[in-house]
Chains A and B, each alone.
Chain A
Amino acid sequence: MSDNEDVMRGEQQKIKKKKLLNNDTKDEIDNYNDIEEYEQNGKIDNEEMNQNEDTDSSDNDVDLLPIEKANKKLRKKQEEEQKLAEEEMHEMTLQQSVFTFPTEKELAEVTNLKDVQQRIKDVIMVLSDFKKLRDVNRSRSEYMDLLRSDLCTYYSYNNFLMEKLMQIFPLDELLEFLEASEVQRPMTIRTNTLKTRRRDLAEALINRGVNLDPIGKWTKIGLVIYSSQVPMGATPEYLAGHYILQGASSFLPVMALDPKENEKILDMCAAPGGKSSHIASLMKNTGVIFSNDVNEERIKAVVGNFHRLGIVNSIVCTYDGRKLPSVSINDTYMNILNVIKSFDRVLLDAPCTGTGVVSKDPSVKTNKDEVDIQRCCTLQKELLLAAIDCVNARSESGGIIVYSTCSILPEENEWVVDHALKKRDVKLIPTGLEFGAEGFTSYRQYRFHPSLKLTKRFYPHVHNMDGFFVAKLKKFSNIIHKNKDAEEETLIIDNF
């Protein structure tokens, strides 16, 4: 019906146009007559001439008032312009849909990056309106493959990691993430509240020619450094322990942990000691903090930082985190009731692939593989279970475990936490962080526990800090292998 109507309208318009054309020719003739008159009369005022013109035209075209005539003229002009614009648009869309799939030869040839960038844009456009713009002989997966290989060349990632990222982000967000991962995050510092206050520190640094600002409303101890005339890691204030260089994202797990004074806290993977010292300063040097890291070289940085920052309540050790819960069992001659198993809070900033900090370490782009991720996530699962075992569920103030990574892959985050939820008597509780995206509850074929939306994800392109993941768990009982037994029971029932 609508088509018919359109046709009808078109015909009407054509008729109108014809009329208009006739009018125009009449007008011209009118004008011609006017001039003749003018010449004959010799001297006539402009107004009079106009009047003449009006009267003349009304004489010739009885149906139309002069203003109507002008209106028609204008409308005709507008219509013409519109038509032209439409044609142009049509041509444009034709050209765009004409994006042809490159031949294999074209793909094999090394093109310059601008062409690749253009092609990325084109393919993303095709994918955004696939039904209309696709090449009928090509499937969506072919387009996706092309896009992936182009993104890999343009941003120099390896195929595997790019595929993972494409599974996490929608296409437009993916591009933003990749762009954001190319640029460095701003340098940030954390005030050591044991020795100074942020305002005093800011004043001292401004006097040294440092251009700085508070990080944001969510923290009272962070400063972001825009520019500095002196190296930030060697000012007398730094050496005197008034601040520490620390990424904004590193504040988050400690804020989620929310340590209280006089508690016993464990940091399982402490090096280089930024988060540990943050915990100690929140505890105001009371209670005790165990800082553990398996790497003896990196533990030196922890010791150095602690002494510089004036932290006195620390015990620094170099155990393998996975073996920590069994420490007191091995050393049975020590007559101490499982010191290691009675922590109020545990922070586990697990070793990870570092896909959230690509801007810091671009080698991540190329050197990670399926095996690396598997290895990481197995280690993380073991570490998280060990961390949970170290916590005393009967602790009055705590019983809290915070798990964090600087990776954005769900395999290293939600999956690990989900695993722990099944294996131990722990539940997720809100992190207490005001911002950040919710954790995934489903990812491709995986379905996680619904409470995983209480975890927080942070992205470089959204929050302008390194990619990060934070989950806060509360332990409810010290029973282990509860679920394992349940599984066995069900198995037995099945056998009968």
Chain B
Amino acid sequence: MKRLTEEKTKLVLEKLTNIGTNVKLLLDRPDGVYCFRERKGRVYYVSEKILSLASVVNPDKLASIGTCFGKFTKSGKFRLHITALYHLAPYAQHKIWVKPSAEQQFIYGHHISKSGLSRITENTPQYQGVVIFSTNNIPLGFGVTAKSTMDCKYADPMATICFHQADVGEYIRSEDSLI
């Protein structure tokens, strides 16, 4: 369990703000101070109270603590994992809602096409990180818009309007590599 270096902190924060998260809200919470810690290339988001208790556990024997937000890839980039969704979805500024018929497709790892689009936040620019919701407001995953809200209006029904990044289906598809 080590603190993130400044460069890495920057990478993580950049990613989070791209989704629209106010990181300050994530760290100073009413129930205590939370922090980011790195372990084996994974970034964990955890309360400081729990962190101090976890220090008694031998690092070899520790499997997970708090919530895993993502990992640093071999090329040095930060990748958000689906496990961060629970914390990021409430803060998302740009959202996409998919139709029930397209729900299944998205959680199987496909991009979202115009025909599956139900709603989209207004004034979403192109290549903006978004959180995907089902019509009854269950968060389903992360994506990046392929078209801005304006362009979506005139897009072809089969045209991709949002690229898939992570979805809740990964809990089943890749349980082993999740953490």
| Interface residue ranges, A against B (CB under 8 Å) | 204, 233-234, 236-237, 239-242, 264, 286, 288, 296, 299-304, 306-308, 310, 312-319, 327-328, 331, 334, 336, 339-340
Q: How far is the CB of B139 from chain A (nearest CB, A)?
A: 7
Chain A residues near B62 (CB, 8 Å)?
Answer: 315-318
- B158 in contact (CB, < 8 A): no
Q: Is the CB of B65 within 8 A of A307?
A: no
CA distance A242 to B168 in the complex (A): 12
Which of chain B's residues has its CB closest to A208's CB?
B100
Contact with A along B24-36 (1 / 0, CB 8 A): 0000000100000
Max chain A Cβ within 10 angstroms of own Cβ: one of B64, B68, B107, B169: B64
Using known A-B contacts A233-B172, A296-B63, A299-B63, determine if residue A315 contacts B57 with beta carbons closer than 8 Å: yes
Q: Is the CB of A319 within 8 A of B61?
A: yes
The SS class assigned to the B binding surface is mixed
Which of chain A's residues has its CB closest to B63's CB?
A316
| Interface residue ranges, B against A (CB under 8 Å) | 31, 45-47, 49-50, 52-58, 61-68, 83, 86, 103, 107, 134, 136, 138-140, 168-169, 171-172, 175-176, 178-179
11 additional A-B residue pairs with CB within 8 Å, beyond A236-B138, A240-B168: A204-B136, A234-B169, A239-B168, A300-B63, A300-B178, A301-B175, A303-B179, A306-B64, A307-B83, A313-B66, A315-B62
Q: Is the CB of B50 within 8 A of A315?
A: yes
Q: Is the CB of A314 within 8 A of B64?
A: yes
Q: Is the CB of A334 within 8 A of B168?
A: no
Q: How far is the CB of B162 from chain A (nearest CB, A)?
A: 17
Chain B residues near A314 (CB, 8 Å)?
Answer: 64-66
Q: Is the CB of B57 within 8 A of A317?
A: yes
Which of chain A's residues has its CB closest to B177's CB?
A300
Give the 6 A-B residue pairs with the shortest CB-CB distance, closest first: A239-B168, A307-B83, A316-B63, A310-B86, A316-B64, A339-B56
Q: How far is the CB of A39 from chain B (nearest CB, A)?
A: 94
Q: Is the CB of A300 within 8 A of B175?
A: yes
CB contact between A286 and one of B31, B168, B178 (< 8 Å): that residue = B31
Q: Is the CB of B58 within 8 A of A327?
A: yes
Q: How far is the CB of B8 from chain A (nearest CB, A)?
A: 21
Q: Is the CB of A328 within 8 A of B67?
A: no
Q: Is the CB of B66 within 8 A of A234?
A: no
Chain A residues near B138 (CB, 8 Å)?
Answer: 236-237, 240, 242
Which of chain B's residues has its CB closest to A328's CB?
B56
Q: Is the CB of B63 within 8 A of A331?
A: no
CA distance A310 to B83 in the complex (A): 8
CB contact between A307 and one of B56, B107, B140, B178 (< 8 Å): that residue = B178
Q: Is the CB of A240 within 8 A of B140?
A: yes
Q: How far is the CB of A283 from chain B (nearest CB, A)?
A: 12
Chain A residues near B176 (CB, 8 Å)?
Answer: 300
Q: Is the CB of B168 within 8 A of A307?
A: no
CA distance A313 to B51 in the complex (A): 10
CB contact between A327 and one of B56, B64, B175 (< 8 Å): that residue = B56
Q: How far is the CB of B15 from chain A (nearest CB, A)?
A: 18
CB contact between A331 and one of B31, B58, B140 (< 8 Å): that residue = B58
Q: Is the CB of B67 within 8 A of A340?
A: no
Q: How far is the CB of A136 from chain B (nearest CB, A)?
A: 65
Q: Is the CB of A239 within 8 A of B172?
A: yes
Q: Is the CB of A339 within 8 A of B63?
A: no
Q: How far is the CB of A386 from chain B (nearest CB, A)?
A: 15
Q: Is the CB of A313 within 8 A of B56?
A: no
Q: How far is the CB of A452 from chain B (nearest CB, A)?
A: 34
Q: Is the CB of A303 within 8 A of B64?
A: yes
Chain A residues near B168 (CB, 8 Å)?
Answer: 236, 239-240, 308
Which of chain B's residues has its CB closest to A299's CB?
B63
Using known A-B contacts A240-B139, A286-B31, determine if residue A302 contacts B63 with beta carbons closer than 8 Å: yes
CB contact between A288 and one of B53, B63, B140 (< 8 Å): that residue = B53
Chain B residues near A316 (CB, 8 Å)?
Answer: 62-65
Q: How far is the CB of B62 from chain A (nearest CB, A)?
A: 5
CA distance A286 to B56 in the complex (A): 19
Q: How far is the CB of A323 from chain B (nearest CB, A)?
A: 10
CA distance A191 to B134 in the complex (A): 19
In the assembled complex, 28 residue pairs joining A and B whose CB atoms fall closer than 8 Å, in A order, are: A204-B136, A233-B172, A234-B169, A239-B107, A240-B138, A240-B168, A241-B86, A242-B138, A288-B50, A288-B53, A296-B63, A300-B63, A301-B175, A303-B64, A304-B171, A304-B179, A307-B86, A307-B178, A312-B45, A312-B47, A312-B67, A314-B65, A316-B64, A316-B65, A317-B61, A319-B57, A327-B56, A339-B53
